[in-house]
Amino acid sequence: MTHDPNRRLRLLAEISTARGCGFAGLATLCMMVGLSGNLAATLKAGGYSALLVMSILLLMAQRAPGKPFRRTEVWLMLDEAERPPDPLAQRLLSGVRRAVFLRFAAYHAVAAVLLLAGGFVVGMPLRA
């Protein structure tokens, strides 16, 4: 069985990104609980928060190639023996991080669509 060094990079990038998104999700959940008296407002606020997180992730994906690899959380999470050589590290880490940011941005886009659609449906007045 061959060892894929990119697999470890992807896993660590996913852990790092998921942790950040988890904190954003916790903030969104707290806001939604605070607005729970109005279901339409709750769903819309959650949807707009998901759009904000998606936008930040897209911005991070765009800036990933320019961020020095030694200043990334993924690099710090790697053991010394796992770290790719310096000439290769920038390209590998930025590519992996960019792909993970884009995937998580897509997840947030789907969540935003569902929450906003639910908010608009719930907020529609009933016609007799």
Q: What is the per-residue pLDDT for 3?
A: 63
Q: Where are the domains of the chain?
A: 5-121
Chain-centroid distance, C-alpha 38 = 27
Residue 83 per-residue DSSP state: P
Mean pLDDT within 107-119? 98
**If you search the block for the tokens 């996913």, which residue do you land on?**
14
Residue 78 per-residue DSSP state: S
What is the 3-state composition of the chain as percent helix, strand, coil, each rounded to the nearest 5?
Answer: 85, 0, 15
Using pLDDT thresholds of 50, 70 and 90, give the confidence band for residue 4: confident
Say whether pLDDT at 1 is over 60.
no
Using pLDDT thresholds of 50, 70 and 90, give the confidence band for residue 125: confident
Is the separation of the CB atoms in 93 and 72 below 8 Å? yes
Q: What average pLDDT does the structure give for the chain?
A: 93
Which residue, 93, 90, 100, is CA-closest to 5?
Answer: 93
What global pTM score does this model have? Answer: 0.91
Q: Count Cα atoms within 13 angstroms, Cβ side, for 50.
A: 22
pLDDT one-digit tens code per residue, 50-96: 999 999 999 999 999 999 999 999 999 999 988 999 889 999 999 99
